Amino acid sequence: MTGRDLFIDALLSTLLPGDGDWPPALKTCVPIWFGERALAEPGLGGAVDWLRRSLPADFATRSPAERAGNLKACEAADSARFAYVVSEAFNGYYIDPAVLAVVERKTGFPARPPQPAGHRLEPFDASVLDGRKRPALS
């Protein structure tokens, strides 16, 4: 049996905590997504290893505010590598059905990919060009 990686859990819950209707990363597919990506992408795996080495040994048990402060220090030390980690967390978060459902409830943007449904739009109304058209070539 594979146990949860408490360090990764603490990292993700600090990067993407819940907020009102928005689920925390730990309640979405992000942990699985992130874990698989870290194994498949050496760059991400290396960045996570760098964070493990850079952060306090008790990072996972610290308060959210303390963890945020610790991560900000890492971000200041190597913004590009830190941004890569954040980007991958966002990638996992914004493909999660629960997250996209919140997006739809709040904005109307449908929680589905562009195809096959597309979007319904009113046809073009040529009256918006009244008074500004010149004749077309026949």
Binding interface with other proteins (CB under 8 A): 14-17, 19-20, 22, 64, 68, 71, 83, 86-87, 89-91, 93-95, 97, 99-100, 103, 106-109, 113-126, 128-129, 132-138
Q: Which is nearer to other proteins, 3 or 108 (CB)?
A: 108
Task: Give the tokens for residue 95.
Answer: 């493909």
Smallest gap, in angstroms, from Cβ of residue 3 to other proteins? 25
Smallest gap, in angstroms, from Cβ of residue 1 to other proteins? 28
| CA nearest to 11, candidates 50, 57, 48, 53 | 48
| CA nearest to 38, candidates 2, 105, 95, 92 | 92
d(CA 4, CA 8): 8
Q: Which is nearer to other proteins, 48 or 99 (CB)?
A: 99
At what angle are helices 64-77 and 6-15 packed, to 10 degrees? 90
Smallest gap, in angstroms, from Cβ of residue 47 to other proteins? 14
